């Protein structure tokens, strides 16, 4: 199995501007702080090791320089463009949208130039619901970008971690990756026993800490200029997520735990782990074929109903959130496959188990209560839970965030707000100050943020599958009730107690569905009554106008 040639890195630093000098300091500090370098490959010589460190240092300077230069431009643009506009005015909102767009494009260029870790950071930001839509729209183009590593590097890392050459372990090993993400890539292989496997290898741990150091310094600087935006909090969450995603032992454990929780689910497939071929730097899993969950054309060609896939997907993640309290943190389409295999005509394959969030038990229970109250629009319960979550008066925005309704909404669950409700909501949101938004985000428990991110990704997938809005809402309602009934030791599987709890939850859900259908019917009757009343008014107005005009001409 041959690998491509390894070409020496040639980089030139031009100019001696202060950003470059500052970047040198950051890069050197990052190198000194970097206590966990890239997995060692039996070093040929001290010269080779020194050359690698120098190359890494120079590359760190270049990458940090770009980052500082870009962020400086972004900060100046915001300060200069908005300096004379009163916050909250229509001119301010229009101008800030323009600056958001320019800044997002600059950050996109930065991510594309620095690649690797920066691409992952851009992907992370694009999936956050709390950032301006201009950023999520522009940076979402990074979701499919990745640069494969040299195959020789992969051979070396696998050999040093598993203690054998590729030819001693595999009958065949594809040099081209089947998936190349921003921080890791996956290759298809065939073991000596003809078992198909997927082998995952990290691609940028060496640069990770330098880049995070740069981002942390920049985020603190920007946060001082824009105190209403907590960039440092986003960086902290991102650093935690990346540390988890690069720990393949933890990813393997997460995978097995999720598989245990879903062992009675015939639709979910989670690849098994080959522990004898797995280390902290190499993860070997069962190979599972399939197409991305948003590949609607594949589903139609395979006679798979996209809406059924959407419903099953929501059931899976609702169960994770409300029942298991153990949530997959990165459910983008590349990590969820749809396969033709399965008793129901298809199965859903969950990949990339590096990032999971284990919810606090009290939070999980309160979140179940919140969704029950949201479905029933129980305003008193929502306000009470708002106090528990520490958001106080801002609890009135929970229905808007999660269900698209206001606290006083008369619209049926899963339907759009009426024009009047939308007008009142816009009016209220315009009265909000940045301090209010910042205070609300600060008050939210930390468990809310991965749930909001996961929910945002799921909504995007449901939209691509053409699923109606109520699919998500009913799945959340159903499993919120399940979560309130029981949270027994999930590793014990089916027991008499768990069956009884599930039965009670099903009864509760049945009555809730009846109530929701009744409320929907009442809402439709009310809409029809209003529509009929408006039509009668228009007809009466036309009749009066006709007689008035007729009498005018007669005179």
Distance of CA 307 to the CA centre of its chain: 21
- Does 482 lie in the same domain as 402? yes
Q: Is the pLDDT confidence value at 482 over 50?
A: yes
**Could you tell me which residues are beta bridge partners of residue 187?**
199
The pLDDT assigned to 425 comes to: 75
- H or E stretch at 76: helix 46-81
Q: Is the pLDDT confidence value at 383 over 60?
A: yes
The pLDDT assigned to 245 comes to: 66
- How large is the average pLDDT for residues 485-491? 58
- How large is the average pLDDT for residues 45-74? 68
- Does 380 lie in the same domain as 232? no
- How large is the average pLDDT for residues 176-201? 86
Three-state secondary structure call for residue 295: coil
Query: 83: domain range?
Result: 52-147+208-240
The pLDDT assigned to 217 comes to: 63
What are the tokens at 50? 């020194």
| Look-up of token digits 């370098």 | 37
- CA geometry: angle 129, 335, 368, nearest 5 deg: 55
The pLDDT assigned to 180 comes to: 65
- Does 335 lie in the same domain as 215? no
- How large is the average pLDDT for residues 58-84? 81
- How large is the average pLDDT for residues 490-500? 57
The pLDDT assigned to 64 comes to: 76
Task: Decide which of 133 and 476 is more confident.
Answer: 476
508 close to 539: Cβ distance less than 8 angstroms: no
Give CA–CA dist 170/433, Å, rounded: 60
Q: Is the pLDDT confidence value at 178 over 70?
A: yes
In a domain, 140, yes or no: yes
Share of the chain above pLDDT 70, in %: 65
Q: Is the pLDDT confidence value at 365 over 90?
A: yes
- How large is the average pLDDT for residues 128-143? 77
Distance of CA 74 to the CA centre of its chain: 25
The pLDDT assigned to 359 comes to: 94
By residue count, the chain amounts to 555
534 close to 527: Cβ distance less than 8 angstroms: no
- How large is the average pLDDT for residues 325-339? 92
In a domain, 409, yes or no: yes
- Spell 152-162 as b/e; 16+ CB within 10 A means b: ebbbbbbbebb
Q: Is the pLDDT confidence value at 523 over 60?
A: no
153 assigned to active site? no
The pLDDT assigned to 42 comes to: 42
- Does 305 lie in the same domain as 229? no
Phi, psi of 258 (to 5 degrees): -60, -40
The pLDDT assigned to 508 comes to: 62
Residue 387: Cβ within 10 Å count:
11
In this structure, of 95-109, 389-403, 505-519, the range with the lowest mean pLDDT score is 505-519
In a domain, 311, yes or no: yes
The pLDDT assigned to 123 comes to: 74
Q: Is the pLDDT confidence value at 167 over 50?
A: yes
Of 498, 175, 204, nearest to 324 (Cα)? 498
In a domain, 44, yes or no: no
Q: Is the pLDDT confidence value at 17 over 60?
A: no
In this structure, of 43-52, 387-396, 469-478, 535-544, the range with the lowest mean pLDDT score is 43-52
What are the tokens at 52? 């690698």
Last residue of a domain, one of 240, 258, 280: 240
- Does 442 lie in the same domain as 327? yes
Q: How confident is the model at residue 320 (pLDDT cuts 50, 70, 90)?
A: very high
Q: Is the pLDDT confidence value at 62 over 60?
A: yes
- How large is the average pLDDT for residues 534-539? 75
In a domain, 255, yes or no: no
Q: How confident is the model at residue 440 (pLDDT cuts 50, 70, 90)?
A: confident
What are the pLDDT digits (tens) for 107-117? 889 888 877 66
**Could you tell me which residues are beta bridge partners of residue 273?**
285
Three-state secondary structure call for residue 377: coil
In a domain, 73, yes or no: yes
Q: How confident is the model at residue 148 (pLDDT cuts 50, 70, 90)?
A: low
Query: Total structural domains in the chain?
Result: 2
In a domain, 37, yes or no: no
In this structure, of 327-331, 364-368, 496-500, the range with the lowest mean pLDDT score is 496-500
- Does 223 lie in the same domain as 307? no
Q: How confident is the model at residue 43 (pLDDT cuts 50, 70, 90)?
A: very low
- Does 214 lie in the same domain as 300? no
The pLDDT assigned to 141 comes to: 77
- Residue among 211, 330, 447, 455 flagged as catalytic: 330
**DSSP result, 254-285:** HHHHHHHHTTT-SSEE-PPB-GGG--SS-EEE
What are the pLDDT digits (tens) for 248-287? 999 999 999 999 999 999 999 999 999 999 998 899 999 9
Give CA–CA dist 399/410, Å, rounded: 12
Q: How confident is the model at residue 453 (pLDDT cuts 50, 70, 90)?
A: confident
- Does 497 lie in the same domain as 405? yes
> Crossing angle, helix 470-485 and helix 448-464, to 10 degrees?
140
In a domain, 555, yes or no: no
Give CA–CA dist 252/250, Å, rounded: 5
- How large is the average pLDDT for residues 30-36? 35
Helix, strand, coil percentages for the chain (3-state, nearest 5): 65, 10, 30
82 close to 116: Cβ distance less than 8 angstroms: no
The pLDDT assigned to 456 comes to: 86
- Does 516 lie in the same domain as 416? yes
- Does 222 lie in the same domain as 353? no
- How large is the average pLDDT for residues 117-130? 70
In this structure, of 24-28, 76-80, 255-259, the range with the lowest mean pLDDT score is 24-28
Give CA–CA dist 277/283, Å, rounded: 7
- Does 448 lie in the same domain as 303? yes
- CA geometry: angle 416, 419, 423, nearest 5 deg: 110
Q: Is the pLDDT confidence value at 503 over 70?
A: no
Give CA–CA dist 51/58, Å, rounded: 11
The pLDDT assigned to 130 comes to: 62
Long-range contacts of 378-384 (CB under 8 A, 24+ apart): 379/407, 382/407
- Does 221 lie in the same domain as 294? no
Q: What is the mean pLDDT of the chain?
A: 76
């Amino acid at each position: 199995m041959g690998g491509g040639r390894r070409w020496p890195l040639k980089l030139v630093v031009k100019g001696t501007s202060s950003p470059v000098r500052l970047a040198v300091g950051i890069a050197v500090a990052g190198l000194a702080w970097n206590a966990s370098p890239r997995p060692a490959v039996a070093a040929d010589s001290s010269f080779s090791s020194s050359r690698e460190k120098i190359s890494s240092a120079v590359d760190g300077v270049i990458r940090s320089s770009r980052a500082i230069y870009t962020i400086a431009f972004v900060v100046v643009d915001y300060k200069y463009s908005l300096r004379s506009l009163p916050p909250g005015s229509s001119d301010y909102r229009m101008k800030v949208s323009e600056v958001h767009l320019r800044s997002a494009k600059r950050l996109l260029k930065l991510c594309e130039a620095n690649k690797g870790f920066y691409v992952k950071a851009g992907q992370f930001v694009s999936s956050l619901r709390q950032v301006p839509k201009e950023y999520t729209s522009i940076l979402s183009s990074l979701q499919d970008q990745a640069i494969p590593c040299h195959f020789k590097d992969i051979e070396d890392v696998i050999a040093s971690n598993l203690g054998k050459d590729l030819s001693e372990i595999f009958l065949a090993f594809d040099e081209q990756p089947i998936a190349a993400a921003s921080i890791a890539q996956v290759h298809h292989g065939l073991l000596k026993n003809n078992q198909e496997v997927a082998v995952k290898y990290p691609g940028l741990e060496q640069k990770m800490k330098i880049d995070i150091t740069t981002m942390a310094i920049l985020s603190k600087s920007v946060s001082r200029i824009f105190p209403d935006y907590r960039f440092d909090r986003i960086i902290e969450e991102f650093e935690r997520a990346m540390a988890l995603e690069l720990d393949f032992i933890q990813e393997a454990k997460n995978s097995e735990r999720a598989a245990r929780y879903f062992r009675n689910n015939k639709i979910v497939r989670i690849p098994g782990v080959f522990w004898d071929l797995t280390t902290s730097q190499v993860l070997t899993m069962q190979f599972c074929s399939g197409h991305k969950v948003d590949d609607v054309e594949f589903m139609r060609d395979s006679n798979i109903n996209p809406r059924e896939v959407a419903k099953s997907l929501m059931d899976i993640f609702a169960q994770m959130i409300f029942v298991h309290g153990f949530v997959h943190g990165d459910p983008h389409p590349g990590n969820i496959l749809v396969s033709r295999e399965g008793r129901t005509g298809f199965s859903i394959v969950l990949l990339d188990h590096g990032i999971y969030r284990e919810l606090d038990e009290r939070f999980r229970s309160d979140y179940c209560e919140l969704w029950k109250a949201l479905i029933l629009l129980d305003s008193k319960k929502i306000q009470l839970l708002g106090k528990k979550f520490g958001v106080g008066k801002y609890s009135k925005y929970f229905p808007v965030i999660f269900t698209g309704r206001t606290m006083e909404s008369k619209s049926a669950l899963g339907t759009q707000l009426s024009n009047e409700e939308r007008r009142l909501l816009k009016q209220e949101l315009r009265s909000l100050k940045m301090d209010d938004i910042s205070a609300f985000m600060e008050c939210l428990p930390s468990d809310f943020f991965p749930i909001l991110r996961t929910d945002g990704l799921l909504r995007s997938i449901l939209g691509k599958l053409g699923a109606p809005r109520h699919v998500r809402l009913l799945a959340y309602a159903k499993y919120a009730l399940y979560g309130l009934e029981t949270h027994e030791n999930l590793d014990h599987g089916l027991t008499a107690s768990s069956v009884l709890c599930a039965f009670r939850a099903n009864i509760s859900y049945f009555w809730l569905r009846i109530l929701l259908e009744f409320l929907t019917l009442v809402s439709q009757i009310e809409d029809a009554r209003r529509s009929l009343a408006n039509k009668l008014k228009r007809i009466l107005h036309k009749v009066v106008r006709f007689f008035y005009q007729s009498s005018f001409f007669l005179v």
